[in-house]
Chain A
Amino acid sequence: MKKFSFIILLFFIISCPVLADVYKFPSNFESISKQIPKIHSIKCKFKQEKHLQNISKPLISSGDFEFVENKGVYFHTLYPFESTVDYTNKNYKQINDIINAISAKKYSRLEREFYFFYEGNINKWTLGMKPKKNSNAYNYISSITLNGADYINKIIIKQTNGNMTTLWFTK
């Protein structure tokens, strides 16, 4: 059993990247924009899991999420404590710009900062972004992966220091 588990684990290790690694499919904004729907305003729940480098236990949080077209996003965390992060104000301008750019399909702005990768179709897609060497994000972020259909379902942010944040959005 132990061996079986090991084989399964090995399978996953090998197969997961093959199945999920969008980073094998470099793309450009022009083709991507045709295959990803424009994202409209939405209210939903979110769940977050942060895996920090050198820390064994992940940090988990959840709460309400809201996206307002052309304006930005709000995270209202309810667990493990209540707090609100408003990305629409100018303190988070850069982050907000990225979110707005993706939702409005204005990829050219992002293309200057990121390499694009795409896999899937308009109904189920994965978008990968890796910062270019000259971009500001290069020092902190190694990749951002977005999974979605009509809306974005999941975002994975991998940092250069080994931290990884996964965000799920559910109705």
Chain B
Amino acid sequence: MVYKIRIFILLIIIILLCFLGFTHKGYIETNLLKTLLPQKVINSTDIVSIANKSSSVIKVIFENDNQEDLDKLKHDFIKQIDTDYFEITTPDVSKILNKYLLQPTNFLSKETKILLKGKKYDEIYAKSIEKLYNPTGIQLTTLDKDPYLLLDDFILSNRKISDKIDYLDGKYYDYMSIKFKKNEALSPDISNKKIRELINFQRYLSDNHSKIYLAGAPIHSYYTSTRSVTDINIICILSTLIIIFLTLKYFRDLKLLLPMALSIIFGMLLGFVTTKLWFENFQVITMVFSTTLIGIGIDYSYHYFFADKVDSKFIKNLSFSFITTVVPFALLYFTGIELLEQVAVFTIFGLLGIYLIVLFIYPCFNAVKPVKNYEPQTNIYKICLFIIFILSMAGFARLHFNDNLTALYTPTRDLLKAENLYNKISGEEAYSQIITVKADNINKIIETEEKITKELDANNIEYISLSKIFPSVKTQYENYNLVKNLYHNNLNNYSDILSANQIRKLKTAKFVPIKFDNMYLNDLMLNEKTSLIVVFGNKKLNLNEKNVGVINLQSDIRYYMTHYRHILMGLFPVVLILLYMLLACLYNYRKAFITILPSIGGIVAAILMTALIYGELNLFSVITIFLVLGFTIDYSIFRINSEENTESAVFVSCVTTSFSFLMLALCGFKLLSSMALILFFGITTSYIIGYLLIKKYFNPLLMENQNHEYAKWFQVEEQSAGKKRLYLSWFLFKIFGKNILYVIAFFMSVFTFIFASKIRKYSEKYLKTVEEYTGLKSNLLNKFKHILSYANSLVDKMLVYSGNFNESDIIFDNDADKKTLFEDIEKKCGVFFICNHIGNIEILQTLLLNQQKTPNFKVNIFMSNRQSQIFNDFLKTLKINFPVNIFQVEEIDLNTGIELKENLNKGDMVFIAGDRLAQNNDARSVTVKFLSRDIKLPQGAFKLAKLMEVPTYFISAIKIGNKYHVILEKQQNLSEKELVKSYVKFMERTIKINPFQFFHFYDFFN
């Protein structure tokens, strides 16, 4: 019943959303620039309108083997153009011409003006006569109005001589440009339909002899959008197939696809409607980012179905993962870029929809349980990670940013050919800068333009401006006066042609201003109050006029792209810190760090590998890393809580999502494909890192941490040693020498210090305990020094066993003790050493061995099971013949005693640590006061010493600087109890020499 009510409520919400979504008056925004630039930039500059102006033009090129057919081809094409939507952009000059004709002498060319100012009247006369007699020369006005043909001269001077080509490589060419009439209001559906019609005409009219090429921004957009739609459809089909395949594989039941689809559809609907209501419009590119929702929807769904039971723990995980995805997206809202604001709102509400569906609606469906679980292939993952590492390193060299919009798109070969052809044929020069001039009326605009163009002329900058075509009233008056002077001085030369009356009329003509009213020049005006000066060349323009702006589309857009990229790059660490703090509140600071680490690793690798493939990244790459973060943090959150089936759920959702993005990465639109590639790399890499880091490495510790607050030494995995690391270090040592080992040791220490919180904790406990004896504070630096000194001791051990340690670096603290020891050794009746884990006793073992001349002499060492195994394997693999008998500390019995006695009788030495309890041997311990704290020491070591009846020494080798100092104490005639007491004192003495050499990284003082 409850479920039925829930479904009912859901249906009502869906209907309500649909109603809101389709009745709300918002519109779909397809203008990429409008989506990218912040509102205040759009309002304060004309950048978008200018970009639209230049991007609404469709260029058409006609090609034919013969001129006649070429004309027919063009003619046929023009006939097909739907003039309701398109206009052929040939400027209507008749209106302007009529204005010129009203007062022809108000308009003077630059050259004529110079001549007039220089009073070179005869030159002007000669020129005009030549023009007058020019066969087929057409005069614009009658001679009695403009005898010197000054208007003809003015018009000719404004006509830009084009380098138009109509014959190239045996083919004739012609071109034209058309544009949408109302481009901004046109919905993408209609504009696409109209362009499709043009393309159909193009195909219909093209054959072996004639060809039509289409170019220009609308054509590029059409091909890109239709291709992207096709690509995305294919991707959707493939992705659905892989979801079906994986669902069948792991569940053998497709029923769960229904709730999954429901959650995604509901999420998208909620996101879409909220965004539309919030922003009044919905930007098409936001849809691209909605892929995140699909991925996360699948993610949540699989977690739900793989979960053993949907209990409070599952809900907690789901909620955490929801909150942590919301946080980075919420921050995008504050960037001030509408696109990102929309992405934020869309994703957050979409995610909320999915979250609610999973929580409340999924239980309404019958439970579907997985039939099998995924078993990760650790070794394959490691190989993959290694490859990723190599690729990332290679990518590092190629990493750079390119914020040009053109870098987001590579046109197809055909379109590129059409563009190049158009430029060649039309000889049109690409303008690079535009000056916008604003004023209340057109005459004022023109006056300002004249001021500006004066500067441009002075700097030899080429341009086209309204003022060139139509001078201001002020300039017209100036021209009138110049012409008046000409008439007074020279017009009598025309007395043959003009009548006396005509000459008189010309000389006495009054000034009549001609105003640029009721006219509109589309190419040079943005609106009634804004004109455009089109400037060629890239010379930097410094204009200090009021209400004048300089727009360099390419570089201005690049500027904003760079600016926002920087904002986002700055925001990313903030997001990480916030996320970390949030996770630290939800879990603890260490768990938070581990949760976030795979995402960071994934993002870094993704950026570097994408850089390797594309060579350059852009604003969108940076946006994408937020998406990667949103995806991958979920995997870690589910993993870190170690649910039984989590790995399967993470695996399946990772495969489906990354597969979809891999497919998308193969699509033709560079913007989409590079984003998808980052998502693919980011998700897969962080999946692998997450698995190895959380599942394989940290989780046992995390779990253990929760179960046992304190641990024995054998329960703590040796973080800095271990078989593989030992071999790797050896290998590196062979290649690079001993210094590399110390470098590795340093990094291992850093690693251990950061991640092995338990070790850090024990170090802290130790340092606190000894603080009053040593004066060392238990701060971070000292804890690190403590761990580093252990790591270095491991290096020394390796050097010792491989015979690479310099004996002169070992010093005996007391020569008398040394003498006694060597005397005992030379007696060949055996020596028993009770050593400890303070300093590095192995140093001494080699020294003593090297000084022994007896061939069969051996050192007998007690070690733990695991230690001895690693050690033996290590020596065996390295083919080091080290005369050593290893006894396992866990297996000391009567036989051990007998064997030991026999060995001692041969003159062997025995080393046994007196400060560590063997595993399972808790009962055979003795509690003593050490540095005022109770500790447990093994009875066995001291019992053996007494039993063996050979000279017994306490011994330690403490490193001070680069030298090892051997501290020695011979024990004589002491009872077992006294021996223990003496041993504790010896330990206290050695600790004070170098407190960092205390290598008990477990709860020694418990």
Contact = CB atoms under 8 A, between A and B. Distances in A.
Interface in A35-88: 46, 48, 50, 52-57, 59, 61, 75, 77, 80-81, 83, 85, 87
Contact of A57 (B71, B97, B134, B497): B497
B133 A52 contact: no
A165 B67 contact: no
Given A59-B497, A108-B71, A54 B135 contact: no
A68 B130 CA distance: 24
B164 interface: yes
B75 A108 contact: yes
B68 interface: yes
Given A55-B498, A108-B75, A109-B71, A46 B143 contact: no
Given A52-B139, A108-B75, A140-B138, A83 B133 contact: yes
Contacts of B130: 81, 83
Interface in B325-379: none
Given A57-B497, A90-B161, A108 B68 contact: yes
A48 B97 contact: no
Contacts of A90: 161, 163-164
A34 interface: no
Contacts of A138: 94
B11 to A, nearest CB: 60
Given A59-B132, A83-B133, A167-B136, A52 B67 contact: no
A24 interface: no
Contacts of A56: 499
Interface residues of A, number: 40
B502 interface: yes
A55 B144 contact: yes
Interface of B is mostly: loop
A132 interface: no
Interface string A95-129: 10000000010101100100000000000000000
A75 B163 CA distance: 24
In this complex, the interface size class of chain B, counting residues with CB under 8 Å from chain A, is: 20 to 34
Interface stretch (A2-10, A13-21, A145-153, A154-162): A154-162
B142 interface: yes
Contact of A80 (B133, B137, B161): B133
Contact of B68 (A77, A91, A106): A106
Given A55-B498, A56-B499, A106-B68, A161 B140 contact: yes
A159 B136 contact: no
A112 B71 contact: yes
Contacts of B129: 81
A159 B137 CA distance: 11
A162 B497 contact: no
Contacts of A59: 132-133, 497
Contacts of B132: 50, 59
Contacts of B502: 54
B440 interface: no
A155 B129 CA distance: 22
A57 B142 contact: no
Contacts of A87: 136
A163 interface: yes
Contact of B138 (A48, A104, A109, A157): A157
Contacts of B989: none
A95 B135 CA distance: 11
Contacts of B97: 139
B138 A141 contact: yes
Given A52-B142, A54-B143, A140-B140, A91 B75 contact: no
B133 A163 contact: no
B72 interface: yes
B496 interface: yes
A157 B136 contact: yes
Contacts of B499: 56
A55 B134 contact: no
Interface string B53-87: 00000000000000110011001000000000000
Contacts of B143: 52-55
A139 B688 CA distance: 75
A138 B134 CA distance: 21
Nearest to B156: A91
Contact of A77 (B93, B94, B135, B498): B135
A100 B68 CA distance: 12
Nearest to B502: A54
Interface string B99-142: 00000000000000000000000000000011011111111111
Contacts of B93: 136, 139
B509 to A, nearest CB: 15
A77 to B, nearest CB: 6
Contact of B142 (A53, A95, A139): A53
A160 B144 CA distance: 15
A74 to B, nearest CB: 10
B130 to A, nearest CB: 5
Contacts of B164: 90, 93
A161 B145 CA distance: 11
Contacts of A83: 130, 133-134
B67 A106 contact: yes
A36 to B, nearest CB: 15
A90 B165 CA distance: 10
A29 B110 CA distance: 43
B144 A54 contact: yes
B71 A161 contact: no
Given A56-B499, A83-B130, A93-B164, A162 B135 contact: no
Nearest to A75: B135
A75 B131 CA distance: 13
Given A56-B499, A139-B94, A139-B97, A161 B142 contact: yes
Contacts of B161: 90-91
Contacts of B140: 140, 161
Contacts of A155: 136
B83 to A, nearest CB: 12
B194 to A, nearest CB: 22
B821 to A, nearest CB: 108
A80 B93 CA distance: 35
A85 B142 contact: no
Nearest to A47: B135
A39 to B, nearest CB: 16
Given A54-B144, A91-B161, A161-B141, A85 B135 contact: yes
B88 to A, nearest CB: 9
Interface in B798-835: none
Residue among A95, A159, A163, A167 with the highest chain B CB neighbour number at 10 A: A163
A54 B506 CA distance: 13
Residue among B94, B135, B139, B502 with the highest chain A CB neighbour number at 10 A: B135
Interface string B461-500: 0000000000000000000000000000000000011110
A109 B130 CA distance: 31
B176 to A, nearest CB: 11
Contact of B135 (A81, A112, A167): A167
Contacts of B141: 161
A125 B382 CA distance: 92
Nearest to B97: A139
Contacts of A77: 133, 135
A69 to B, nearest CB: 13
Given A50-B133, A52-B142, A108-B68, 7 more contacts: A55-B143, A59-B132, A104-B67, A109-B68, A140-B140, A159-B138, A162-B142
The 4 tightest CB contacts between A and B, nearest first, are A109-B71, A108-B71, A53-B142, A54-B144
29 contacts: A46-B135, A48-B135, A50-B133, A52-B139, A52-B143, A55-B142, A56-B499, A57-B496, A61-B133, A75-B136, A77-B133, A81-B130, A87-B136, A90-B164, A93-B164, A108-B68, A108-B75, A109-B67, A109-B68, A109-B71, A139-B93, A139-B97, A157-B136, A157-B138, A159-B139, A162-B142, A163-B138, A165-B137, A167-B135
Interface of B: 67-68, 71-72, 75, 93-94, 97, 129-130, 132-144, 161, 163-164, 496-499, 502
